[in-house]
């Protein structure tokens, strides 16, 4: 099973994230105004999703195609023991707990403007 989240506000205007087999698990609104960076909205819509499809690359590519490239937005998901971190146009895949793989994704996030405190996905 593949499970993940995407922040609704991180999607480009007019973009649609709808890979085959994707299903909605929940939607929550979060007040992040205390930690939002300049240019980020103070309220985020957290969309939790899942897929039994197994097409990790297809889901990652679909996310990479719809994420807003500004402000370093990213989405992440797990597929078994694999962690996938997706930025606009860029995908990182590593085994959960692989510090070198995580560090590579964090370094890229910092290079595109993701605030350090938001590079906090769980392994």
The total number of structural domains in the chain stands at: 1
Q: Rounded CA gap, 118 and 112, in Å?
A: 13
Q: Sign of the CA dihedral 81, 86, 92, 97?
A: negative
Decide if 53 is inside a domain. yes
Say how many CA atoms lie within 13 Å of 90 toward its Cβ.
15
Residue 29 belongs to domain spanning: 2-114
Decide if 122 is inside a domain. no
Decide if 82 is inside a domain. yes
The average confidence (pLDDT) of the chain is 94
Decide if 120 is inside a domain. no
72 and 87 Cβ atoms separated by less than 8 Å: yes
Q: Sign of the CA dihedral 91, 21, 45, 39?
A: positive
Summarize pLDDT for 74-123 with one digit per residue, the tens. 999 999 999 999 999 999 999 999 999 999 999 999 999 999 999 988 87
């Amino acid at each position: 099973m593949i499970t993940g989240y995407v922040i609704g506000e991180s999607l480009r205007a007019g973009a649609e994230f709808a890979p085959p087999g994707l299903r909605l698990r929940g939607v929550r609104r979060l007040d992040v105004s205390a930690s939002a960076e300049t240019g980020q909205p103070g309220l985020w819509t957290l969309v939790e999703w899942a897929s039994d499809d197994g097409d990790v690359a297809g889901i990652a590519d679909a996310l990479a195609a719809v994420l807003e490239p500004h402000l370093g937005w990213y989405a992440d998901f797990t597929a078994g023991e694999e962690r996938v971190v997706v930025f606009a146009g860029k995908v990182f895949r590593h085994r959960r707990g692989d510090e070198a793989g995580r560090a590579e994704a964090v370094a890229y996030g910092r290079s595109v403007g993701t605030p350090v405190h938001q590079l906090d996905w769980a392994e």
